Structure 1
């Protein structure tokens, strides 16, 4: 079967050949995991839609050609097993990228996926890691409906690993999550400050780790930009604000990986598939241009 016709084609496969994993700067890892979504579904279809839409991208992202650094698309992560084993499968795939010293670009899937990614980076020997999160939700509940491996608990699992966290754009959270922020010294600029004041860059705390994993939940962006998500919340970030915030972090710290979570394609509206794919590639370009100094 032609790769373009397969369910999970390689990223940007209309323009480039599959990269050598040992030489490719970017390791794209599709993770179609959906087990604990609490409203709309379809995030399991996100990775495939993003990969297919990437065949419509140009090599030039407007400033550079990040694909020239090599892109290796992993086989799809097996998400048909129990949730704890899915986390291990995600960690194993991420560890491959980490062992090569490359950048995992993880396509979800529900946000629980990020926990497995962080575990994989740690297992590869990566140290001094911080996480910067764009999201509509804090995801800091200890458990949601009794499930500690829930999309609503993923950031609690990460801070439980003593990983420093900086949250951007949050606008839907509960009292428990406010207390968790305080207990774990979570840094944040919520949407009610970030968006009305059009904040396009942040300054990370001086003691924030030198290696940053950036997790971007599509619902962190406004539904006018991305209605294609299971838990939309009004008052989110715009396209350029999102990219500018990501670049402001990349200028201050080494980006060791990033993910795009909670993208749920809408049948018949391919514009959002393309936008999610373009967003992924634009973020690759920001990493390529900024990581050169580290």
Structure 2
């Protein structure tokens, strides 16, 4: 009894007082109330936007991805209010993972993480498809330009891929079928399989997932996958924010670590032409003289001739 009482106390302190049983009346009522609140929140948007979940499911997925990438750009530019970011975060996590459960709860002292978790938790019971719809609606409600952008995609005036979203770019990899994926995993030892799955979760869920993985100490700064990629290199490859890159450096990441192809994080950033990340890496002491196995220095990969001047200035 004492153990259970202590467990309840700790769970309460961690903010995990949500209903666990999805079939309970309390759970259903809370979800219905939240949906009603959301529908009222977005009632001023065009009806066409409110029905974005109807029709082709792939169109909803494409628009959701488009909006998520566009939001990352706005975040980097500092154009979003904190409350908007939190609400978008809650919808995104609900869309990608589903309900906030014990395994995702932050530690007791992680106040920032707890605030985010509590916002995510307000969406309990909302389906992942509906969460994507509400994410799109929230993005469209940010300003007139965002709403018009969504309408253009819905009306077929532009393709989602036409918008330049550096947050969506990563080093290109060949498409492989699931059988090949299983064969790949089957050739890995237990630890490399674990790392492979962790890296895939981080790619799917973004830098917030990386924060959680670090906090749970599931990886170290020296952790590498089969290709020799560290968490720091993964963060660069996914064009995560410089804030998470700094966190990883504080965590002990080697900025000049080379993967199996001899490439460094700076090679990755130059392949993506991520100007902000390139500048960050150079300012933090990334060695631009390192050649990969093909004999290429990072600057030789960079296609933007204008940005070569920045390299030359840093070198001098």
Q: TM-score, normalised by structure 2?
A: 0.29
Q: Name the one with the larger strand percent.
A: 1
Q: Name the one with the larger helix percent.
A: 2
Relative contact order, higher structure (CA 8 A, sep 6+): 1
